[in-house]
Structure 1
Amino acid sequence: MFQLFGSLKQFLKPSSCTTDNKIFRLHYKATVLILVGCSLMVTARQYFGDPIDCISRDDIPPNLLDTYCWIHTTFSIENAWKKRVGEEVPYPGVDKTTPNEKRIYHAYYQWVCFVLFFQALLFYVPRYLWKAIEGGRMKNLILGLDYPICSEDVKANNRALLVEYLYKNLNQHNMMFRFYVVTELLNFLNVILQMILMDRFLGGEFTNYGWDVLSFSEWDWSVRYDPMIKVFPRLTKCTFHRYGSSGDVQKHDAMCILPINIINEKIYIFLWFWFYFLAIVTFIALVYRAITIFVPRVRYLATQSRCLTNRDALHSVCNQCQIGDWFVIDLLSKNLDPLNFKDLILDFYRRMEGKGANGL
């Protein structure tokens, strides 16, 4: 298990430079880690057994039947969901073949590992775009001021360079901020589209899947209306055709056990709750972003809450800066040592007031 998931530890490493917020990191770190881990789990046959085992009383080789049914999908009979288990049918959705029966085919289990990995890639796209746009600017602006232990001469020199950059590029960061807001919107749209994608992937059963599962306080495998059994059946049917000894086409009905669905149902019930949680907090983050755009005072309060700087100086700086400049200053507050950031704001305030970095 350590070898299987050991490669994912890189997602847990903290970044040396912060260029976004915690909600953004839930998308490209936590969610990507979850989806890639689930994709690896589905492919781990050595821990969860073969994905399919088919039963037939005919002389068809078991391995051949398993391979055929895995490739050509299995199915459930819709009318069999309403029959009593153990009396009329052996399992929900499994019954004898009748003319004009309505079948529900299950082909998703072949693609679960690929779909999960593809979803992980989609969650990383906004992060990739933001990194390309940001271009390592924030990492270059830190100038070693993220460490509290540093000689006074070095700190004063680096602060002066950073103050000069902020002053010379005043009102030049609005486009950078707009791109960041666009990537935040992409995060929200991605979650919604992914939920729609999973709903179609599971035959329209994902949207209400979590609510249906929550309606069952105690689950029993024989309960025919259990949503997990209906979406991820453990036992299905498969029809195999071949030529008989006389040259006629013979039909062989087989029942197939799908142990992989025990894992799939747990994965998707967790993803249901996770995606709804992610959509809600991302929407709240967008509301917060809108407030910071239209209510300037919120920008000051947001930055002031995480630093020790002089409130009057910070308030004056925020009032004189446009939103793009505030965005850069807010990112600096997340990366710089609090004392260094306090001195930076004081120096920048004096520079904007025309007093110079030393207050002269």
Structure 2
Amino acid sequence: TYCWIHTTFSIENAWKKRVGEEVPYPGVDKTTPNEKRVYHAYYQWVCFVLFFQAIFFYVPRYLWKAAEGGLVKNLILGLNRPILGEDDRRGAINLVTDYLFRNMSLHNTLFLTYAITEVLNLINVILQMVLIDRFLGGEFSSFGWEVINFSEWDWSVRYDPMIKVFPRLTKCTFHRYGSSGDVQRHDAMCILPINIVNEKVYIFLWFWFYFLAIASALALVYRALTIFYPGMRVVATHSHCRISNPKQIKEVLKHGGVGDWFLLDLLSKNMDPLNFRDLIIDLKEKIDMVKDSKNGV
């Protein structure tokens, strides 16, 4: 109990010694002068760290939901259902068309907010990887690679790298008073069964964080393409609604900003394809009517 509450340690020189012949367990050996110790105290804080990490992962989503305010849900108007009465369907499409036409070039702030949250996603996962690396004494950054390479090591020098990061048996020093009042130093061993769970949690997090970092970086590359290459916007929206005409989508996007495309792209993901196709047709007709009136046709 004392060792569990206080910090335990392992002896660095004992990691690679032969178990059963030289040491009873990796990192556990007799006390020697000038030995280098690796202290373990993280296991008391794992649940709290994971809780706060989860909160920070939710922050970008919360910011986006607060900025979006249910706009897409309100614009759907039941058009995400494939079966809808014709009068209701046409009425809803007309309402959405009028909204999009009247608010052209007014959705750039919405797009900027979403782009910022995508940047925050990448910053968040990188900072959390650094945080865990420091939390685990600098062992997390290479943890996954060492576990992957573990099966390829020669049996004569093979030891589980997870045991080094998450030892199940450690050393602990505490002091008691003897019968004469002298302080007696006790060198004991402490069992840490919780590390059997911790090692599984963090090996999963290692692979998951690397996946999230790569996915977030690719998302930023995609976002940059949609900003600087307008043709990418047409391709992206058409990929969500194959039955729509890409030429019509291109014509509609010519008369709006990147924010208008972003809102249309969100609608294409949430609407029934037939309804979104009709929305594009109606929106193009409205734009053409305004162009014709300006040209005196």
Q: TM-score range by the shorter chain?
A: over 0.9
Aligned to 2:294: none
The range that moved more, 103-112 or 254-263, is 254-263
Counterpart selection for 1:303 from 237, 248, 251? 237
Counterpart selection for 2:61 from 115, 119, 127? 127
Counterpart selection for 1:242 from 176, 180, 186? 176
* Deviation, structure 1 residue 198: 0.6
The question of whether the paired residues in 2 share the 8 Å contact of 1:206 and 1:272 is answered with yes
**Letter aligned with residue 270 of structure 2:** N
Aligned to 2:187: 253
After TM superposition, the structure 1 = structure 2 runs for residues 27-106 of structure 1, keeping only pairs within 5 Å, are 66=1, 68-106=2-40
* Deviation, structure 1 residue 102: 1.6
The question of whether the paired residues in 1 share the 8 Å contact of 2:17 and 2:23 is answered with yes
Counterpart selection for 2:265 from 318, 330, 335? 330
**Letter aligned with residue 111 of structure 2:** F
Aligned to 1:317: 252
Aligned to 1:14: none
Q: Distance in 2 between matches of 1:292 and 1:266?
A: 39
**Letter aligned with residue 322 of structure 1:** G
**Letter aligned with residue 301 of structure 1:** V
| Matched-pair identity in % | 70
Query: TM-score scaled to structure 2, two decimals?
Result: 0.93
**Letter aligned with residue 298 of structure 1:** M
Counterpart selection for 1:187 from 89, 101, 121? 121
The question of whether the paired residues in 2 share the 8 Å contact of 1:81 and 1:224 is answered with no
Are positions 1:177 and 2:111 aligned together? yes
The question of whether the paired residues in 1 share the 8 Å contact of 2:4 and 2:190 is answered with no
Query: TM-score scaled to structure 1, two decimals?
Result: 0.77
Aligned to 2:45: 111
The range that moved more, 238-247 or 159-168, is 238-247
1:317-345 Cα deviation digits (max 9, x unpaired):
12222100000000000111111111111
Aligned to 1:343: 278
- Matched position secondary structure for 2:79: coil
* Deviation, structure 1 residue 220: 11
Task: State the aligned residue count.
Answer: 290
The question of whether the paired residues in 2 share the 8 Å contact of 1:171 and 1:321 is answered with yes
- Matched position secondary structure for 1:305: helix
Unaligned ranges ≥5, structure 1: 1-65
Unaligned ranges ≥5, structure 2: 292-297
* Deviation, structure 1 residue 252: 1.5
Q: Distance in 2 between matches of 1:221 and 1:124?
A: 44
Are positions 1:275 and 2:209 aligned together? yes
The question of whether the paired residues in 2 share the 8 Å contact of 1:145 and 1:337 is answered with yes
Counterpart selection for 1:207 from 129, 141, 159? 141
Counterpart selection for 1:137 from 71, 78, 84? 71
Q: Distance in 1 between matches of 2:260 and 2:154?
A: 59
Q: Distance in 1 between matches of 2:153 and 2:47?
A: 26
- Matched position secondary structure for 2:151: coil
Q: Distance in 1 between matches of 2:65 and 2:220?
A: 20
* Deviation, structure 1 residue 226: 2.9
Q: Distance in 2 between matches of 1:309 and 1:302?
A: 12
After TM superposition, the structure 1 = structure 2 runs for residues 223-242 of structure 1, keeping only pairs within 5 Å, are 225-242=159-176
**Letter aligned with residue 49 of structure 2:** V
- Matched position secondary structure for 1:105: strand
The question of whether the paired residues in 1 share the 8 Å contact of 2:178 and 2:184 is answered with yes
Q: Distance in 2 between matches of 1:214 and 1:335?
A: 40
**Letter aligned with residue 106 of structure 1:** H
The question of whether the paired residues in 2 share the 8 Å contact of 1:91 and 1:222 is answered with no
- Matched position secondary structure for 1:354: helix
The question of whether the paired residues in 1 share the 8 Å contact of 2:146 and 2:161 is answered with yes
Aligned to 2:295: none
Aligned to 1:148: 82
- Matched position secondary structure for 2:184: strand
* Deviation, structure 1 residue 176: 0.7
The question of whether the paired residues in 2 share the 8 Å contact of 1:291 and 1:298 is answered with yes
